[in-house]
Structure 1
């Protein structure tokens, strides 16, 4: 005798997590439902957050989320070689290279051969890039405050600590991260 079908037609973005945990653990009882729920919730919230920031702040500026990440990284760290930009922005070197073509075309970034290593390309913001990222980051941070306003300051501090704990565990747990 089979179990009744779950009502997949009435699922939404958040209720899908309950459905996924329930259905997966029914089929695979050995699955750890708490770990599954935590990772599903974390990735779904991160995805929703990125989509919101990109659609309300960055797309109106003509940027993608990766474009913002490159501009933000260069703004804070100053001129950097493309390899370092890829590393600090969490992107591949190929993705950074392709993205910089657009940012350079838009007058936000310049690239030149590194004086230290002629094989490397150094990226830097133009004045237009600095002006764009500083004005846009104000709107970005306003959305960050909107998202985090549902948590008290102590809850925010706890969540930051927990996320940092997960992030720093990668080395100890042989977890693959982008170099």
Structure 2
């Protein structure tokens, strides 16, 4: 069994396996690197800024979303965070047990829940933001300001270019 490959070895292996196939290899490389970068930053955040608070990235984003937007229906939070409703339900249950989130039935449809960050959850987001941002800053420290801006614009275009799920 083989250990972890370097990024260069992985890219070389992919190129060898896909040689001659009618694929958009530039799109594949761009999105594979986007995925790798997102996963690496997420892992780093969980190992540093979020570790002491014992929060996963998903739990932090749930709190962040509610902290920014106020109370929201569960399906809207799941869509905003980019997780399934089942995943959100588990994350929300943990946050609720820890006193960081309130859950109440939605008045119009009792199958749905309204989520709201508690005062303690809001304070935790406030406390974590400097460390989260320091980790974000470190992740892109290899880029100059113009490159950071360009990366932000390009990723924004990718997101907007995707068809909305129904």
Would you call these one fold, judging by a TM-score over 0.5? yes
* Corresponding position: 1:55 with 2:42: no
Aligned CA distance change for structure 1 residues 81 and 21 (closer, same or farther; 3 Å): same
Give the structure, 1 or 2, with the largest relative contact order (CA under 8 Å, sep 6 or more).
2
Of 58, 61, 64 in structure 2, the residue corresponding to residue 66 of structure 1 is 58
- Cα RMSD over matched residues? 2.2
- The equivalent of 2:162 in structure 1 is 170
Structure 1 regions of 5+ residues with no counterpart? 1-7, 172-176
User: Please, which of 77, 86, 95 is the counterpart of residue 87 of structure 2?
Assistant: 95
Normalised by the length of structure 2, the TM-score is 0.88
- C-alpha distance 83-32 of structure 1, shift in aligned 2 (>3 A): closer
Q: Higher Cα Rg: structure 1 or 2?
A: 1
Post-superposition offset of 1:18: 2.4
For structure 2, list consecutive stretches of 5 or more residues without a partner in the other structure. Answer: none
For residue 13 of structure 1, report the CA deviation from its aligned partner.
3.7
TM-score (norm 1): 0.82
* Aligned counterpart, 2:14: 21
* Cα deviation, residue 178, structure 1: 5.6
Does the 8 A contact of 1:17 with 1:41 survive in 2? no
Cα distance in structure 1, aligned partners of 2:101 and 2:3: 46
- Checking the alignment, whether the CA contact within 8 Å between 1:73 and 1:89 is kept in structure 2 is yes
